[in-house]
Amino acid sequence: MTLIEFSGREVVRRIQAREVTCAEVMATVLDRIGAVNDRVNALVSLRDRDALMAEAAAADAALAAGGPTGPLFGLPIAVKDLANVAGMRTSMGSPITEGTTAPADDLFVERMRAAGAIFIGKANSPEFGLGSHTINPVFGPTLNPYAPDRSAGGSSGGSGAALAMRMQWLCDGSDAMGSLRNPAGWNNVYGFRPSWGRIPPDPGGDVVMHPLSTMGPMARDVEDLALLLDVMAGPDPRAPFGPVPDSFAGRVDTDVKGRRIAFMGDWGGAWPTEEGVLPLCAAAAQVFADLGCTVEEVASPFPAAELWDSWTTLRSFSVVGRLGPLYANPRTRTQLPPQAIWEVERGLALSSNDILRASTIRSRWHAAAADLFAAYDAFILPTAQCFPFPVGDRHPTRIGDTKLDTYHRWMECVIPASLGGFPALGAPAGFSAAGLPIGIQIVGRYGDDLGVLQLGQAYHAATGWPQRHPPAA
């Protein structure tokens, strides 16, 4: 087994045990990127090789001198291009922000740096993170490693593809509407959306009203997710919300026999779903039955139309806060993508009653979910309602005979977890007859991140899907 095939935690262990040097690890990653990144365009804004090798050598010298190490010591990591890394470009996939150099690290990046990570560049993302398809006018599209004519998903598509192509051991991502879960399912890896507040948001801007998005880890196995989650998570005195602090590394491997799981498929027929998706997800749910869990198909516990109403209202309200100033400026408005303009204009048209109605629906969903979690430990849904679509399409416009009315309607299945702020693990569920990957979401009650990761670890041990390499790799 080559170094790039090991887990991230094993690479760090070998560095700390002096079995391999940080310089050797860095050279391995950079050589791998040089060999395969052009096939998928997952990593962008890469730093100079000589500078990175010098930084790795400095880490080796610090280790030899007995300096402190951390859980990510010496690990090369590319940060999603929506986040700030001090001294590096933050393009966000937009010509408006392209060329911007970040003056400081975002909070979770600061924590990764303190844990010993070496930042090598950025992972590609959609323009401003909108739309679960990683394409933008600055860097172009990220291609799916398993089907290079198809989308890698998003908005953490660059991270997902980099993991699948063995260019990274660990990646960060962010998730409002499935941006950690969809690319996990479409790239045959794992992406974890933690309970909202587990990873505190950066101070500045609105962190109180209607929180929707969160950071989270991505990896090729669940124990590596736990490793990175421990680094990214933890309270911050400037953050107003968050579950009880917890730790995860070393605690995810356990017997899950007796746990109760609800399989919801297409939410009682409410969501149009491409042929072939649900059978693969049902087969993935059956794995838990084979592990001794109780798995039951359950009717939808809440009206899908109300969830959609609440979500789209609060999402547009949130996007106005981020992109409203760019829309208000005539010079930058013309450079915004269509989905950004659509969201901002919807958000500007909202009344206070619209926002109150959406928040009330959300509150009712929390109450309904509490009843659901009284009977079940987790529920399972697809990570997307379709297989990866052609990379040249901006988004799917139909599923079967159903015309889709928005750019993100094919992602409706991620809303229950996002709207509730629940922990949700995106996990591989296999491949279509044409070789296209899809995944499942394992969704747990708020604060039970450990329980979800334990289910994911048992599932990973039973299936090992990421061991199936992309044809291009």
pLDDT of residue 153: 98
pLDDT of residue 472: 64
Report the predicted TM-score, pTM, of the whole model to 2 decimal places: 0.98
CA-based angle 209:212:217, to the nearest 5?
135
Task: Encode pLDDT of 197-235 as tens digits.
Answer: 999 999 877 888 778 999 999 999 999 999 999 999 999
Please tell me the CATH code under which domain 3-305+355-467 is placed.
Answer: 3.90.1300.10
Q: Strand pairing of 294-297 and 378-382?
A: unpaired
What letter does residue 46 receive in the DSSP assignment?
A: P
Place of tokens 């006018």: 137
pLDDT of residue 208: 82
Looking at this protein, which amino acid is placed at residue 434? A
Nearest Cα to Cα of residue 437 among 448, 446, 428 = 428
pLDDT of residue 211: 81
The span from the CA of 12 to the CA of 22, in Å, is 9
Contact of 46 with 91, CB cutoff 8 Å:
no
Q: What is the dihedral of CA 156, 157, 160, 165, to 10 degrees?
A: -150
Give Cα 270 distance to the centre of its chain: 25
Q: Give the residue ranges of DSSP H helices in 189-276.
A: 222-232
Task: Encode pLDDT of 389-444 as tens digits.
Answer: 999 999 999 999 999 999 999 999 999 999 999 999 999 999 999 999 999 999 99
Q: Which residues pair with 172 in a beta bridge?
A: 217
66: confidence class by pLDDT, cuts 50, 70, 90? very high
Domain residue spans of the chain = 3-305+355-467
Q: Which residues pair with 175 in a beta bridge?
A: 214
**So which residues are the catalytic ones?**
80, 155, 179
Task: Encode pLDDT of 382-401 as tens digits.
Answer: 999 999 999 999 999 999 99
What lies within 8 Å, CB to CB, of 358 at 6+ separation is 210, 309, 310, 311, 313, 314, 317
Distances (CA, A) of 428 to 29, 92, 439: 24, 27, 4
pLDDT of residue 22: 98
Task: Encode pLDDT of 262-313 as tens digits.
Answer: 999 999 999 999 999 999 999 999 999 999 999 999 999 999 999 999 999 9
What lies within 8 Å, CB to CB, of 115 at 6+ separation is 70, 71, 72, 73, 231
